């Protein structure tokens, strides 16, 4: 299965909020859910999935390995612990969360361990997150061409990351856009607002539709049913060439997430 175009993210959600968000998302038609070890909500996500009544084979579950679990002897056991919390025998996609160049575990070690997790049937696909072009090339050289399903990267109308996205698409690696709404900053943008008014859409739908039309997957999160439902409808919004060009002009290389010690040298 390829990467679903629209999923629901769970970043910064925990406890009842995470459970309610995932439960609502599944009720209204989402079938892809994105979580991570560091989010501390895999248990909440797992409970919501189990109690939803949705069949496991209809779902696409993604989690991400945290930096403290990159060592060869830790990665697979940590993923097994994630599976226990998620109440499933496997996830559909497991990502390395950050390259974390200074944490003492070299890239070949954690990429080989991730490939081993796939060989053991713990994850159907493997991928990376927040990798630049150089590190993506290195990861490909370790696991082989065609093994990396996606690179999940911060990407929004204000941070379009065209060089990295173009490289990934040339390599047949799916681009998953997170922070597509730039922590909500794009929701006040006058250009996007004008397009939204003309299209009888929300600004969030316009930003998400822009990413989808470029071939990216998106994983917006919300605790509100109305926003979750609205975001899902972005799949049906079609922007024309003028709309796309106007959004392209908004790029300002404005990055929201850049943690020291975890992030690479960005392209």
Compute, in degrees rounded to 10, the torsion defined by CA atoms 179, 161, 132, 187. Answer: -10
Q: Which residues pair with 176 in a beta bridge?
A: 152, 217
**CB under 8 Å to 237, separation ≥6 — which residues?**
199, 201, 205, 206, 208, 209
**Which residue ranges are tagged as binding site for substrate?**
97
| Distance, CA of 246 to CA of 192 (rounded, Å) | 8
* 178 given a catalytic annotation: no
**CB under 8 Å to 12, separation ≥6 — which residues?**
39, 221
CB 168 within 8 A of CB 152: no
Q: Choose, from 19, 30, 39, 216, the residue flagged as catalytic.
A: 39
Both structure tokens of 200: 């009888």
Sheet with 8-9: strands ordered across: 8-9, 32-34, 60-65, 91-96, 123-129, 148-154, 174-178, 217-218
**Which residue ranges are tagged as binding site?**
97
| Distance, CA of 197 to CA of 194 (rounded, Å) | 5
| Distance, CA of 186 to CA of 92 (rounded, Å) | 31
**Active-site residue numbers?**
39
């Amino acid at each position: 299965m390829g990467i679903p175009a629209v999923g629901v993210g769970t970043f910064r959600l925990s406890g009842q909020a995470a459970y309610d968000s995932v439960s609502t998302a599944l009720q209204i038609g989402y079938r892809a859910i994105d979580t991570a070890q560091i989010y501390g909500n895999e248990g909440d996500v797992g409970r919501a999935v189990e109690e939803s009544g949705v069949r496991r084979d209809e779902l696409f579950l993604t989690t991400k390995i945290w930096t403290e679990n990159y060592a060869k002897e830790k990665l697979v056991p940590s993923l097994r612990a994630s599976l226990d919390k998620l109440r499933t025998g496997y996830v559909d996609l497991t990502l390395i969360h950050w390259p974390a160049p200074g944490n003492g575990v070299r890239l070949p070690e954690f990429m080989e361990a991730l490939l081993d997790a796939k060989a053991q049937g713990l994850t159907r696909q493997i991928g990376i997150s927040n990798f630049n072009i150089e590190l993506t090339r290195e990861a490909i050289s370790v696991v082989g061409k065609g093994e990396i399903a996606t690179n999940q990267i911060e990407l929004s109308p204000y941070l379009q990351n065209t060089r990295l996205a173009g490289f990934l698409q040339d390599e047949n690696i799916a681009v998953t856009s997170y922070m597509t709404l730039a922590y909500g900053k794009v929701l006040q943008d006058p250009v996007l607002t004008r397009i939204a008014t003309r299209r009888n859409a929300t600004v969030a739908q316009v930003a998400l539709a822009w990413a989808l039309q470029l071939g990216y997957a998106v994983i917006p999160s919300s605790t509100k049913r109305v926003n979750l439902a609205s975001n899902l409808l972005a799949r049906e919004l079609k922007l024309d060439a003028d709309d796309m060009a106007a959004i392209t002009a908004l790029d300002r290389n404005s990055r929201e997430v850049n943690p020291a010690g975890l992030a690479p040298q960005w392209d």
